[in-house]
Amino acid sequence: MSQHLIVLPIVLPLLAGVILLRSRLGGTRLKRRLGVGATLLLVLVSALLLARAADGEIAYYALGDWQPPFGIVLVLDRLSALLVLLTSVLALGCVIFACGGDDEQGSNFHGLFQLQLMGINGAFLTGDLFNLFVFFEVLLLASYALLLHGGGKSRTQAAVHYVVLNLAGSALFLIAVGTLYGATGTLNMADMAVRLGELPAERTGLVTAGALLLLVVFGLKSAILPLYFWLPRAYSAAPAPVAALFAIMTKVGVYAILRVYSLVFGEQAGDLAALQQPWVWWLSLATLAVATLGVLAARDLRLLVAYLVLVSVGTLLAGVGMGSVEATASLLYYLVHTTLITGGLFLLAEMIGLQRGKAGTRIVKGRPLTQGGALALLFLGGAIAVAGLPPLSGAIGKALLLDAATHAQQPWLWPLLLASGLSAMIALSRAGSTLFWRSQQGERDGEPLPRQHWIGVSLLLAASPLLVALAGPISDYTHATAEQLANPDAVVRTLLSDAGDAS
């Protein structure tokens, strides 16, 4: 049974999604139980996969027993295991929150939610460029419908922009994949890495074009400057549990850059090695700078959190751009922190908006909140964590990245990262004082929030103190993951030299 564990993060949400999308399936209560149950089971499976990958084993699953490089291959290593577990924990908080009533605003929420999980997990596990494209399309198709969940003018406008840009990105992805296949004769990433080492000189330009085109696609997915303009509107307009799940969507783009360029365009690629690094480094700094200005300018709490997601994108890609083991280890710790905390803040913004009446999530004076004390405490904890202040995990993540920048002799990250933290403090302090201290107009007539909302947001925001308590083991794991990424020969040996001994 253990050999089939690798495929379960894809099969479980697929089966759950198909069952939930049956129009005659029970009522809301049954769908909620199935949705939460399937996601909880996914968390357990992901934890088992993380335990399996923690000892450094690289395993693969050949669907239909077609061995690499010819068949569809799923690869489990430390990085994919970490991100599958992160996705499942984030999804659990989101789906519990949605059971408080958000899932009833439209149809088929739970089924679409599971299909999006299938696409995300597939993107993290696949060892093939074409199947990376396929799983991108699966998660995008589900996200189109989830973004429109509940309807409304703002969501429809945001969805149109989101769909058009991602369709353009999908077309570019196909062109890039076709270009690389024409030049190398393979789409298996490990096999492509081997063939690049033997690439004839006349094909170098073609592969370079394909690689840079892929970088554009992954940059669009991760929302790097100048391809980020879709994100603030889409994330701020989406239903709260959908926006919170979308916190992992930009990380799929970051993951794709890490995976493809460390494996395929590593040292063995000769002149093509690390061709993405200067582009990613300077564009990440520009993204960080522009997102910081967006944080200061935001006048809506949802929009503020969306720009904080962009700040995290710039920070993570700066770690990628430094290209060292220390930087990769640091960005992976920060990735876990920022994904869960920004996801929790999207949920918290919805809770605050529900109790403010017509003012909603706009950072203006409104009526007093019925459960203002508890909401204020959650907001304070989330603000400290996302701004990177001690003693929570954001401070540790940023300190690790700054230390990596020092060792990599990249001083430009220091002022930008510190400025982004200061700007986040200013913007969140302004928002908190307006929402909780100055909102004294009218009576407290907001209804108490459902317990599912409190459970969902607490689950995600509690990750920050937990990341502090477990900072040592988590840092050890992320450092080992970074060293594994820096040694692509291990993946090549597992998938090609040992083909036939499916793990």
What are the pLDDT digits (tens) for 208-227? 999 999 999 999 999 998 88
- pLDDT of amino acid 396: 96
Average pLDDT on 184-195 reads: 92
Instruction: Dump pLDDT digits (tens) for 252-295.
Output: 999 999 999 999 998 877 778 888 888 999 999 999 999 999 99
- pLDDT of amino acid 68: 84
- pLDDT of amino acid 25: 60
Instruction: Dump pLDDT digits (tens) for 418-443.
Output: 999 999 999 999 999 999 887 666 66
- pLDDT of amino acid 441: 66
Confidence of residue 369 (pLDDT cuts 50, 70, 90): confident
Q: Global pTM?
A: 0.95
Confidence of residue 23 (pLDDT cuts 50, 70, 90): low
| Whether the predicted pLDDT of 501 surpasses 50 | no
If you search the block for the tokens 């997601």, which residue do you land on? Answer: 309
Confidence of residue 498 (pLDDT cuts 50, 70, 90): low
Backbone angles phi, psi at 94, to 5 degrees: -70, -45
- pLDDT of amino acid 32: 93
- pLDDT of amino acid 256: 96
Average pLDDT on 26-34 reads: 87
Confidence of residue 197 (pLDDT cuts 50, 70, 90): confident
Share of the chain above pLDDT 90, in %: 73
Share of the chain above pLDDT 70, in %: 96
Helices (H), 391-462: 393-407, 413-432, 451-461
Average pLDDT on 405-429 reads: 94
The domains of the chain are located at: 276-486
User: CB of 62 within 8 A of CB of 97?
Assistant: no
How far apart are alpha carbons 327 and 479 in whole angstroms?
9
User: CB of 358 within 8 A of CB of 350?
Assistant: no
Task: Please name which of 368, 353, 365, 229 lies closest in space to residue 301, comparing C-alpha atoms.
Answer: 353
| Whether the predicted pLDDT of 503 surpasses 50 | no
